């Protein structure tokens, strides 16, 4: 009963925050914010131009407003609904943000300048949260054919780190215990294509074993952020998604 009460309390908090979430007239982060993250704008494959919107842009700006707002409410971090900035993947501005978000990596096409900039960002301690991609036997985004975003992203990774690969994460990893103690990695994605593979959490580690990147494979937790105030998603799943996102941010700021 106590757990149920806490969940309902959290649900009420999230609803009240998101229903009345103010829409900023400017994309400039607040000057007094202690946490501002970068949404990465990247060069895209030709297939990206068949999408109804640029893949790097998915869930913007509503997902970007929700995560820092809730982070500020549940922690002592001073932040707000405009604590994010769109940053080009090849820009030196990226180094101003220790935490970065990247959507739909299956459409990313790294050129030589991108490779140098993103690799240096990660090597200097930057952290990348990669979301909204899948492997499925059938996908509307490919016109009905199979989709394998992680395979594409792995090829792009090899441009930066030829000797590294993604590793599967489990509950013992500190990123799942840094703020919230995540109880399970069995999560229901917000939408499922026919033949979509199960959700899995992957990571990229440096030569010392430090986590540089977390990947929500076959998932889209920012979709929960985006639609939480629309009543389209389970409140339990939305709260879970926010726990993951807040843990990612906290990990990036403390490791």
Query: pLDDT tens for residues 150-186?
Result: 999 999 999 999 999 999 999 999 999 999 999 999 9
Average pLDDT over the chain, rounded to whole? 88
Please state the φ and ψ torsions of residue 239, each to the nearest 5 degrees. -65, -40
| Predicted model pTM | 0.86
Band of the pLDDT at 49, cuts 50, 70, 90?
Answer: confident
How confident is the model at residue 27, as a pLDDT? Answer: 57
Least confident of 11-20, 165-174, 183-192: 11-20
Q: What is the DSSP code string of 196-211? A: BPPPEEEEEE-TTS-E
Q: Which residues are CB-contacts of 65 (< 8 A; sequence separation ≥ 6)?
A: 21, 23, 24, 81, 82, 84
Give the model confidence (pLDDT) of 85-123 as tens digits. Answer: 999 999 999 999 999 999 999 999 999 999 999 999 999
The rounded radius of gyration (Å) of the Cα atoms in the chain is: 17
22, 103, 104, 25: which is closest to 68 by C-alpha? 22
Q: Mean pLDDT throughout 133-137?
A: 92
Domains of the chain: 33-254 (3.40.50.12140)
């Amino acid at each position: 009963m106590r757990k149920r009460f806490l969940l309902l309390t959290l649900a009420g908090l999230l609803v009240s925050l998101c229903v009345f979430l103010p829409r900023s007239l400017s994309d400039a982060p607040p000057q007094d914010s202690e946490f501002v993250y970068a949404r990465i704008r990247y060069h895209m494959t030709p297939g990206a131009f068949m999408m109804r919107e640029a893949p790097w842009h998915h869930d913007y700006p509503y997902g970007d407003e929700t995560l820092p707002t809730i982070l500020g409410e549940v922690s002592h971090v001073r932040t707000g609904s405009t604590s994010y900035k769109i940053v080009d993947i090849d820009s030196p501005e990226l180094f101003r943000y220790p935490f970065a978000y990247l959507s739909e990596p299956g459409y990313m096409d790294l050129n030589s300048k991108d490779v140098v900039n993103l690799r240096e960002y990660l090597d200097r301690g930057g952290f990348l949260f990669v979301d909204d991609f899948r492997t499925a036997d059938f996908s509307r985004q490919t016109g009905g054919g199979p989709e394998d975003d992680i395979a594409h992203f792995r090829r792009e990774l090899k441009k930066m780190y030829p000797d590294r690969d993604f590793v599967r994460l489990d509950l013992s990893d500190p990123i799942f215990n840094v703020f919230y103690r995540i109880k399970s990695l069995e999560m229901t994605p917000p939408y499922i294509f026919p033949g979509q593979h199960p959700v899995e959490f992957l990571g990229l580690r440096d030569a010392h074993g430090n986590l540089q990147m977390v990947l929500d494979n076959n998932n889209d937790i920012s979709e929960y952020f985006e639609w939480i105030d629309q009543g389209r998603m389970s409140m339990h799943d939305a709260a879970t998604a926010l726990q993951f996102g807040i843990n990612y941010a906290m990990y990036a700021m403390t490791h």
